[in-house]
């Protein structure tokens, strides 16, 4: 038989069984209570030890990665607190809630300190990074490339401004057009040279890429809303070879006025105002007889060379004049085909190439420069 420890056996004395029986049960529960209390105290000391060890590890961590290692060591699936929870089966059932509460309190305390340390560490790192990446706002910035308006756009806006100031409307129409509007309603019948496939892009027999913006005029006249004062800017297509003065795709601006008692004098006065507004107040105009199938009489308009003032130079080839547009009185047959009575209404029409205006106004000697998108060229405007 094992010897009894003196701290226990010293208090033992022999009593009769009759006297001892009532105290046997009480002694058992007292012993159990003492053992449970001692177990809880031991667990509490263990948790306190874990917490202190975790705090030391957190204080020693100098980078976020080490803080993460602390989290794994103490709070991870195989961490020390998890090991304590696995040992709960050794704790008396009635003490487990209290021990569990102690574990959760320890976990919460460690997590809080970890988050605070992480936030502080990230703040320090961020401040150090900002010190290293200081931007001197007094230094000049890199010059950004600024876009420029295209010469065609500038010329178009100028022409629109002039005619809107005279009470005209700006009207647009389809680039893919019917033969009916592009030719027939403009007094260009079958067999006319302009309808040759060598000059026009046909999609089929009845549909083509418009060769002029005059079809817009025919569509507006068909609507019958008189009087008419309009310009029709837009892109047109012709089967031309690309060179310094030609392109298969370019832009036109065509104008139309229909009203009662419109005369050639009205046409002349309108175009004189247009020329002076566009090229300068000293500009003079000259009307030369010409032929267009949709106007009668017809003319081509020249203006005095704005380079030499009409004296003659290389720019105007010594003539002192520069051709800018074609015009004329609307042919009575065109009015009839568009549903307008030529005995009651008359009108005039004119057309000018947008690229031609840009070439003349900015002294550009090659039309191809307008479409090559060379930044060195475009940034001049």
What structural domains and CATH numbers belong to the chain?
30-133 (no CATH), 151-379 (3.30.930.10)
Walk along the chain (381 residues) and give the pLDDT tens digit of each residue.
444 444 434 444 444 444 444 444 433 333 344 445 566 677 777 777 887 887 888 888 878 788 788 788 777 777 777 777 776 666 667 767 777 777 788 788 888 888 888 888 888 888 888 777 777 778 787 777 777 889 999 999 999 999 999 999 999 999 999 999 999 999 988 887 767 766 889 999 899 999 999 999 999 999 989 999 999 999 999 988 888 888 899 999 999 999 999 999 999 999 999 999 998 898 999 999 999 999 999 999 999 987 777 788 877 788 889 899 999 999 999 999 999 999 999 999 999 999 999 988 888 888 888 888 888 888 888
Q: How many beta carbons lie within 10 A of that of residue 84, not counting itself? A: 19
pTM of the model: 0.61
Please tell me the total number of residues recorded for the chain in this structure: 381
Task: Write the CA distances from 246 to 234, 251, 304, 305, 359, integer angstroms.
Answer: 16, 11, 23, 22, 12
In angstroms, the first-to-last Cα distance of the chain is 115
């Amino acid at each position: 038989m094992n010897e009894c420890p003196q701290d226990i056996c010293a208090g033992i004395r022999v009593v009769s069984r009759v006297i001892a029986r009532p105290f046997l049960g009480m002694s058992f529960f007292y012993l159990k209570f003492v053992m449970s209390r001692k177990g809880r105290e031991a667990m509490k000391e263990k948790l306190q030890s874990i917490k202190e060890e975790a705090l030391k590890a957190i204080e020693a961590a100098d980078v976020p990665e080490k803080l993460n290692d602390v989290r794994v060591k103490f709070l991870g699936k195989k961490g020390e607190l998890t090991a304590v929870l696995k040992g709960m089966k050794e704790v008396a059932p009635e003490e487990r809630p209290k021990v569990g509460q102690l574990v959760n309190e320890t976990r919460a305390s460690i997590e809080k300190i970890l988050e605070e340390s992480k936030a502080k560490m990230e703040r320090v790192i961020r401040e150090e990074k900002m010190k290293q990446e200081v931007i001197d706002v007094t230094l000049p910035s890199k010059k950004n490339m600024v876009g420029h308006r295209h010469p065609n756009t500038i010329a178009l806006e100028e022409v629109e401004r002039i005619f809107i100031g005279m009470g005209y409307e700006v009207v647009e129409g389809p680039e893919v057009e019917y033969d009916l509007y592009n030719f027939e309603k403009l007094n260009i019948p079958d067999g006319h040279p302009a309808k040759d496939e060598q000059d026009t892009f046909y999609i089929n027999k009845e549909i083509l890429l418009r060769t002029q913006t005059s079809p817009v005029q025919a569509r507006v006249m068909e609507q019958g809303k008189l009087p008419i004062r309009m310009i029709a800017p837009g892109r047109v297509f012709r089967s031309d070879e690309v060179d310094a003065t030609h392109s298969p795709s370019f832009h036109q601006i065509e104008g139309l006025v229909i009203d009662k008692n419109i005369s050639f004098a009205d046409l002349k006065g309108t175009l004189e105002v247009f020329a002076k507004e566009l090229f300068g107040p000293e500009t003079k105009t000259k009307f030369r007889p010409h032929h267009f199938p949709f106007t009668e009489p017809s003319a081509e308009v020249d203006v005095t060379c704005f380079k030499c003032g009409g004296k003659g130079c290389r720019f105007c080839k010594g003539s002192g004049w520069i051709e800018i547009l074609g015009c004329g009185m609307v042919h009575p047959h065109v009015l009839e085909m568009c549903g307008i009575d030529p005995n009651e209404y008359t009108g005039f029409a004119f057309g000018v190439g947008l690229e031609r205006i840009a070439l003349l106004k900015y002294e550009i000697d090659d039309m191809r420069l307008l479409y090559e998108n060379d930044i060195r060229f475009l940034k001049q405007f």
